[in-house]
Structure 1
């Protein structure tokens, strides 16, 4: 699949919020309708596991099936409307200098580390752990049952002719970003992936930056 690169007109100095998320750490924030939310890959090839929830009713959350079906494409890029489990638009990707993002590969966990790599990898930190830490700190009653299929921004997960998934070298580079306009008030939940066992982040987790702009 060819990638689509679309630059943003927004400048970092006009952002109303900026925060660097260290490698392996979680992040959670409310983004209001009309705001634009950017994830910036600071050093390249980092994987950013992300979930979105309605800030009004977290039972409504990002849904990969609805998103893929409505756009007729398994990859996410400029123009993709991220849809909820109720079919509503949650965010629209309005700029993307990476060109393709995964919504099938899921998040690493103790269980997947064991199955994919080795038994002794079970206790390595994982995105599922980061998600749960952020939800515990947010303290709004959300927990394990609220973890659904996530987006892996900047991650390269090709689908084989047989329908399987492979985890390949990332296609992002330092300074690339993906930018989304919120179509409703959303809670953004990020795990800046700590994975050391596959090439999604060149075996070297690195920080990313999150930026938010008010409606123009």
Structure 2
């Protein structure tokens, strides 16, 4: 089909609707499809983004066993407030993501809470790959190339929300694990396998950026990253959080005070 004319370009563009059908992951068992607010499959080397309301549940699924979901969160009301990985692990005395962990902002507030995890293979140390690193490792790190870097994809996702490169902090990554040995040596654990899930609860209005790219510590020669399932929904009732320490209670109190002052709780 020629695109040399306006009519031809129009016909070609409209033909893509049937040529590339949209595929979405099924909602988790027991979730009313009508309550779903965001649903998509992010290809390896792809990115996604959305704004979620407080109380929304977000489930990420490693569909093939090779996903690596880099995650950044921002306060949707004031995007200068964003995920602080260092405070998230330092304040809670825990560097390994698990159910009950709060994802803290740089203002000491809870952006989101991990409320479920069947993977146990995550990383708070190494973040996502850079373009320079991927060019040296794979020969290319551009967002449109065969081995996109996580930071380059974050730049694209951030731009959709008026954010620039200087607004991209270190990220958490999920589904490719790293553990630190007693002597300080990092050990790359890889994936827990296809079907592993991580579930988050939004604790305030948040901008979510996801970059699904090969982990920086993945030793495989080829750039390897599988599909990521993303589903967000509004639950019918509050989702309880396991008993937590004083650091968590302070973060939730800070968040509640912030939302109440703005008439949001």
| TM-score scaled by length of structure 1 | 0.84
Select the residue among 164, 171, 182 that pairs with 1:161: 182
1:162 to partner: Cα distance: 3.3
CA deviation digits over 1:43-84, x for unaligned, max 9?
113111110111011111111121112221111110101100
Residues in 1 aligned to 2:171 and 2:216: alpha-carbon distance in whole angstroms: 19
Distance 1:153 1:197, change over 3 A: closer
Residues in 2 aligned to 1:139 and 1:88: alpha-carbon distance in whole angstroms: 21
1:9 to partner: Cα distance: 6.8
Matched, 1:181 2:204: no
How many residues were matched structurally?
A: 203
Contact 1:35 1:213 in 2 (8 A): yes
Unpaired segments ≥5 residues, structure 2? 1-27, 237-265
Matched with 1:30 is 51
Contact 2:75 2:82 in 1 (8 A): yes
CA deviation digits over 1:89-137, x for unaligned, max 9?
110111111124211111101223356x47x45664211111111223x
| TM-score scaled by length of structure 2 | 0.69
Contact 2:58 2:230 in 1 (8 A): yes
CA RMSD across the alignment = 2.5
1:156 to partner: Cα distance: 1.1
Report the 3-state secondary structure (helix = DSSP H, G, I; strand = E; otherwise coil) of the residue aligned with 1:129.
helix
Distance 1:45 1:194, change over 3 A: closer
Report the 3-state secondary structure (helix = DSSP H, G, I; strand = E; otherwise coil) of the residue aligned with 1:61.
coil
Moved over 6 A (4+): none
Contact 1:28 1:188 in 2 (8 A): yes
Which structure carries more relative contact order (alpha carbon 8 Å, separation 6+)?
1
Residues in 2 aligned to 1:212 and 1:111: alpha-carbon distance in whole angstroms: 33
Matches within 5 A, 1:1-216: 10-11=30-31, 13=33, 15-113=36-134, 117=137, 120=139, 124-136=147-159, 138-140=160-162, 142-170=163-191, 172-194=192-214, 198-199=218-219, 203-216=223-236
Residues in 2 aligned to 1:126 and 1:151: alpha-carbon distance in whole angstroms: 15
Report the 3-state secondary structure (helix = DSSP H, G, I; strand = E; otherwise coil) of the residue aligned with 1:167.
strand
